[in-house]
Amino acid sequence: MSSLAGSFLVARHVLKDKHFFQSVVLLLKHNSEGAFGLVVNRQAKADGIPFPVFSGGPCPMTGFIMLHGHADWLEPSEENEVAPGIYLGDKSCMDRVTDPSPDEVLRVRVFSGYAGWAPAQLEGEIAAGAWSVTAASGPILFDTPAEDLWDSLVPPRIPRPSVN
């Protein structure tokens, strides 16, 4: 299977795991060593932080990962753009978020935690029908409210044929 990095994984109706039920995951890496991504539609409770924080997945990590939709915040680089219009932020980007100019509209999501898969694990879950894969983009991620993202991306249920 070719790399799915830069795509959304959309949990199908059959996926009942509490960590991924009705989730949308942006895959940041996907290769023969496994996969790594962020659940992008689960806002977390974070007191005392001046921006919303999302629960990126069940795997704990120290610090945060930032995704943003501001091409002018970074030097152009393939490593910075994880999908069209979605960029991986660094410390300078975090500084912009914590002290934005008054007229600036921020296109940002900050994550604590991540989702990870062992080699061939994700491929098996996709083959079993747990996930659908769709193209990711900045407009989808930043212009769709997090609580509406899964509903807007999940494929419709296919009715079961009658066995009469």
- Whose tokens are 């704990």? That residue is 60
Q: Reduce the DSSP state of residue 15 to 3 states and report it.
A: coil
The tens digit of pLDDT for each residue in 66-81 reads 999 999 888 767 778 9
Are 22 and 38 within 8 A, CB to CB? Answer: no
Task: Return the SS3 of 137.
Answer: coil
Tell me, what's the pLDDT at 33?
Answer: 96
Q: What are phi and psi of 157, to 5 degrees?
A: -70, 140
CA distance 130 to 115: 15
Which CATH fold topology does 7-153 show?
VC0467-like (3.40.1740)
pLDDT tens, 17-47? 999 999 999 999 999 999 999 999 999 988 8
